Structure 1
């Protein structure tokens, strides 16, 4: 026998209208009532129609623990509302992203989350956004505003505050030759982190900070190469634009025969849980994954439900986690 909302309503002890509101993720249903309906659907084997129930999370950084954590948190927050997430690994600005969007739009996708994907790339193709706009599929961005000022919600960690926390920590430890290992030119978060770093150095009257900024890929190898260049420039402290780059920097410093933090201090950025267990444990600026994910999920639910969500970028405060890769400037 096919199970419908009549049977679900009877088992949950609610009206059919209430079951319909839960199925369609409408407001006005108490959590206790919503849970009762969800439990009744699970017990009876009621299946929602897949069309319109999928939320795509598009990101390049599937293997990065921070992005994996954010994606998992978003999925967990959306699941109780009958939404299933699909992880789409796509190189920012590459051909995969439009192909993913085109395929999923045809299947009745409910929303898209661009998690540090094309929304981070200068001059990115706007075709996916236009495709979503025409189909009236809502979308949001994480850690990167969209090309051409596309008016959608964006949720980002405050890079200016992140740079201030990192530079201030090293400056208080006596470092003045502070370098930065950042991502490639044209990547919006990398560009902002560099400018924020330079601003933080400028506020402390440290001149010539530009020469100690090295642009590389957001990888361990990129961090290693940047650190070895910075060592040649006399840096005693390194602010990395990602934890992966910071771990690469530590490796590069050690391969040159120096110690961390006795000779050179290193600070990462992201704050993924693995950084607590590396050797030495990494000092890092931690992004607020829990708060970011919760706000993204809330906005997705609101947009799917036809409610207005403020457009523009909402900034979240990071925090400095001091561990063992930073110490006083060495005596020279």
Structure 2
């Protein structure tokens, strides 16, 4: 059918039909839906080729990853793009397997969400394959050292500063960091930010108050045990799961949160209002990450110029009930 015929069915201009077919900016969602409905009514079959954006993510078990994928998918949709979420453990061959499986299907692009892009010296097969085939990609929370691709990250240095500042204002000086594994880019950045924030407040022995562990409840419990042995009165955790592990370590010692030890998590979700006590946490700006990722991906798909400097987005400290003044006996 001609564009004019489809436009007549949809009740829009030919230019609008063209923009919808070519996934261009400037079409309201309601109008886009009208055109898509008209296309279906006249039997027009759109191919999926060039519509799919891979989202490579470590797991959907972590709420933050599910939220990020959901937000990116929601923001891609108005541009006629479909997200295909691929859960892969970072640094494994499965990441490249997904890319190899889908690249000949004509994928539009790929987004690495805290996947191999967060690991220093990770296997480069997946993103190099995308580069070799001219498929645009970008990364979230860390970039590949050998790739000139956009990077969208939460400002981990600022996240550490927010946490230390809050606890320091409450009188805490023995502040510990339950950090993620060495070689994980966000974990290393938060450790750097922690040391800078502590040193700027005249606390010079902060390095001994960093305990590394996995981003799990058990990893947080183990790290918290180390920090409590060193006399920490407050613990900043690298994830909410680690913070809940710290809760467990504190309770096993017969101590209470926040009367004896204050705890701050990282990522933030609505479920934290229901922990006991409700967990103070640094929230990643999920909506902003989705918006910036989508804008960059659509720009690259349309072959328009794009600067690839890392974009750092501001986190937010969400105060609940897990932080309080330093115990009198420790001040």
Partner in structure 1 of residue 155 of structure 2? 158
1:44: Cα distance to partner?
A: 5.0
Moved more, 35-44 or 205-214: 35-44
Whether 1:24 and 2:22 are equivalent positions in the alignment is: yes
**Partners of 1:73 and 1:43 in 2: how far apart?**
30
Cα gap change, 1:223 to 1:7, in 2 (>3 Å): farther
Residue 144 of structure 1, aligned match among 121, 138, 142: 142
**Partners of 1:290 and 1:43 in 2: how far apart?**
34
Partner in structure 1 of residue 277 of structure 2? 280
1:31: Cα distance to partner?
A: 5.7
User: TM-score with structure 2 length normalisation?
Assistant: 0.94
Partner in structure 2 of residue 106 of structure 1? 104
Whether 1:314 and 2:311 are equivalent positions in the alignment is: yes
Q: Deviations over 1:7-43 (max 9, x none)?
A: 5333113455542331221245566643432342355
Partner in structure 2 of residue 191 of structure 1? 188
**Partners of 1:47 and 1:330 in 2: how far apart?**
67
Partner in structure 1 of residue 206 of structure 2? 209
1:191: Cα distance to partner?
A: 0.5
**Aligned residues of 1:124 and 1:147 also touching (Cα < 8 A):** no
Partner in structure 2 of residue 65 of structure 1? 63
1:278: Cα distance to partner?
A: 1.5
**Partners of 2:274 and 2:37 in 1: how far apart?**
39
**Partners of 1:226 and 1:65 in 2: how far apart?**
22
**Partners of 1:28 and 1:236 in 2: how far apart?**
53
Partner in structure 2 of residue 180 of structure 1? 177
1:166: Cα distance to partner?
A: 0.1
**Partners of 1:174 and 1:100 in 2: how far apart?**
50
Partner in structure 1 of residue 239 of structure 2? 242
1:230: Cα distance to partner?
A: 0.9
Give the secondary-structure state (helix, strand or coil) at the position aligned to 2:215: coil
Partner in structure 2 of residue 265 of structure 1? 262
**Partners of 1:41 and 1:77 in 2: how far apart?**
22
Partner in structure 2 of residue 200 of structure 1? 197
CA RMSD of aligned residues (A): 1.8
Partner in structure 2 of residue 171 of structure 1? 168
1:186: Cα distance to partner?
A: 0.5
Q: Deviations over 1:128-181 (max 9, x none)?
A: 122111211110111112133x11111111111111110000001110000000
Cα gap change, 1:260 to 1:18, in 2 (>3 Å): same
**Partners of 1:45 and 1:175 in 2: how far apart?**
67
Structure 1 spans left out of the alignment, 5+ residues: none
Residues matched between the structures, number? 329
User: TM-score with structure 1 length normalisation?
Assistant: 0.94
Structure 2 spans left out of the alignment, 5+ residues: none
Residue 40 of structure 1, aligned match among 24, 38, 41: 38
Give the secondary-structure state (helix, strand or coil) at the position aligned to 1:257: coil
